Amino acid sequence: MEAVGTDDNPDAQGAVVEEPCPAGQSKTSAKTGWALLEEAVQLKTKGNAFYKEKNIRSAIGHYHRALLVLRGLDSNVLALVKGWGDACMFKALMCLLACLLQKQKVDYTRVLEYSLRVLQWQPGNIKALYRAGVANLEMGDAQAAKQYLTQVCREQPKGMDGARV
């Protein structure tokens, strides 16, 4: 089982920072963007708490809602919040993946889909590469699984716990 991290940054924990608005943009849309981002971070944080309690179903629901809130932000608002949206979406996806793999009946199609989204942001992300490999293997695509898992071994010859892979 993997531990799901928490955000130590006070801005990500709920502080709303007022950013100057570029020409042609209203402060209302920036505040709304920050409020939505704050809501997504809070949903992710609640998901983390449920995960720690081993309440996987509730954790999945909170991570999904966080992702839905983030998808609702338009590109102009995302530009105003300077990458926080992408970082929050990335973290929520990683947490969601951890939960999906803990379910009694794992949907490996979703695991692969979300792993590939993470790999679009971070092509060398070891956990996402590993999860994509496992998902492909479980879905019967041994060749694709081998490619992902070989890349994991190349990039991190010792496992997460330091043991040789």
Q: Dihedral sign, CA of 151, 153, 154, 160?
A: positive
pLDDT one-digit tens code per residue, 74-91:
666 666 665 665 677 788
* 68: number of Cβ within 10 Å: 12
Average pLDDT, the chain: 77
Angle, in degrees to the nearest 10, between helices 84-100 and 108-121: 150
Overall fold of domain 25-103: Methane Monooxygenase Hydroxylase; Chain G, domain 1 (1.20.58)
Name the CA radius of gyration of the chain, rounded: 17
Euclidean distance between the first and the last CA atom of the chain, given in angstroms as a whole number: 17
Angstrom distances, CA of residue 40 to CA of 31, 34, 89: 14, 10, 9
Domain 106-165 = CATH 1.25.40.10: yes
What pLDDT digit, counting tens, does each position of 96-148 carry? Answer: 999 999 999 999 999 999 999 999 888 889 999 999 999 999 999 999 999 99
* Phi, psi values for residue 76, rounded to 5°: -65, -40
Domain segments of the chain as ranges: 25-103, 106-165
State the chain's maximal CA–CA distance in angstroms: 55
% of the chain surpassing 70 pLDDT:
68
pLDDT at 45: 93
Summarize the confidence of residues 31-52 as an average pLDDT. Answer: 86
